[in-house]
Each structure stands twice: as C-alpha cells, then as structure tokens.
Structure 1
Amino acid sequence: MQASSEMLQKQLYAITTTPTAGIEPILANLEEHLAFQVALEREGVLYAAGPMWSEDEQTWEGDGLVVVRAGSRAEAVAIAERDPMHKRGARTFTVRPWMINEGTMTVRLDKSSQTFSIL
C-alpha cells in the first residue's frame, strides 16, 4: 500500500505482561519493577508503560503493557527478561513487534508557570 510507505513506520516492541500467581507476588515486586522501568526510561529504551485495567475500567488484576525501543525482537525479549517481575516469576510475558504508522502527541508547555502537560 503506497500510503503505508509514506507513514512513520517506527518499529517498537510491545511486551504484554501477565500475573502467574495472583496479585500478591505482583505487589511484592512492584517497587523494584518500577525502579527498573524508570531506569529504562532514563536510558531512552522505554517508550511507554503502564497497567492494563479490566474491561469495566474498575479493577486491576496485575496485567501490564510495556513498549520498548529495541533493535530486534530478541533484544526486546532480553529487556523483558531483566524485569524483576519476570526474573522472580511473578509475571510471564510475550513480545510482539509493533509498528507505529499514525497518531499524534501533544505537549503543552506553559512558560509562566513552568509546567507542562501531555494532552
């Protein structure tokens, strides 16, 4: 498709992470997991991450989605394997290539208050 060749075609990797034994092991490893995520963010590896809520938007059962910048799927798998959640068996994961073609991101910077927001 010609339109596709004109789009961004930015290759990223989506890591879907799922609890193996309920929420307790997730909560026990959450602090180290979040520190790992922040380290990936500072390295420029982490594109986006966060919890996946239930379909009714009311509960969280420990599922998450992590999108990383990596040179290959194998590299993305190696990143996921380093996550304390996965190293300790609190979660299992899958890695799928994800190509970004469309979308927008808007950042608002208010100079007077020196604040910003993502819209």
Structure 2
Amino acid sequence: MGLPVKDVMQASSRMLQKQLYAIFTTPTGAIEPILANMEEHLAFQVSLEKEGILYAAGPMWSDDEQTWDGDGMVVVRAGSRAEAASIAERDPMHKSGARKFTVRPWMINEGTVTIRLDSSSQTFSIL
C-alpha cells in the first residue's frame, strides 16, 4: 500500500525535491550483443550529457562486486516518465534489443556533491 505522492511532497517540502528519472537497463540475453553495441551506446550517453539531459549513468556490478552481467542505470532529466522512456528507447542498446529497460521516477531530496578545484594546476575532482 503506497503513500500518495502529494503526501511525500508535502512532508519533504523544505528539501530539494528535484524530479529525475532512473532508467534500469538489463540484458535480454548473452553479453556479446551488449559488447557489440557498447561504442554506440557510450556515444549516445555522451550526447545526452552534452545536451544537459544525462544526470548520471554507469554499470551495476554483481552484489559481490566481482563481475558485470550487463546491467546498468541511467538517470536523466525529463519532463515526465513518458519522456524519459522515449529517451531510453533511443539508446542503441535498447534499439538493438541487446537490453531492455524500466523507468522509475526518482526525486532527490537529500545528499551532497563535493567538487575540489585546484587553481594552480587547473584541475578538479569530485570527492
């Protein structure tokens, strides 16, 4: 039994309430088609990043952190769940059938991002 979204929004009204969409992507079969589409997939991800759509993305390891079975997660900025699904459908991994996906709305309320900028070397790092 779920709590209505409006109640969650009201309870966290003083927090960020940044609405994003998490795309969980999983293999439809063997790993070979995923590897075959990897270059195009990564180029697509970079294009989303340059457009300001991509919030974060990357592979999801096994629970023991020792292997990768082809799963990934992509978090996008979109106006709706349907728009996020449309973005996912354009991914070469999904277009080729190497992976399937599900989209879940995700609201950021808490957390931090720390960026270190070293002026002398003109470098930065995310801590």
More strand, by proportion: 1
Q: Do structure 1's residue 67 and structure 2's residue 71 form an aligned pair?
A: no
How far is the alpha carbon of 1:21 from its aligned partner? 1.0
The aligned residue for residue 40 of structure 1 is 48
Question: Quick one: distance in 1 between partners of 2:56 and 2:118?
Answer: 23
2:86 partner amino acid: A
Question: Quick one: distance in 2 between partners of 1:22 and 1:116?
Answer: 38
Question: Quick one: distance in 2 between partners of 1:4 and 1:73?
Answer: 21
How far is the alpha carbon of 1:3 from its aligned partner? 5.2
Instruction: Count how many residue pairs are aligned between Structure 1 and Structure 2.
Output: 119
1:73 partner amino acid: R
What residue ranges of structure 2 are gaps of 5+ in the alignment?
1-7
Misfit runs of 4+, over 6 Å: none
- Equivalent residue runs for 1:17-28 within 5 Å: 17-28=25-36
2:55 partner amino acid: Y
How far is the alpha carbon of 1:89 from its aligned partner? 0.1
1:52 partner amino acid: M
**TM-score of the pair, normalised by structure 1:** 0.98
Residues 41-67 of structure 1, C-alpha deviations (whole Å, 9 max, x = no match) = 000000000000000001001000000
Q: Do structure 1's residue 114 and structure 2's residue 118 form an aligned pair?
A: no
Name the SS for the 2:15 alignment partner.
coil
What residue ranges of structure 1 are gaps of 5+ in the alignment?
none
- CA RMSD for the aligned pairs? 1.0
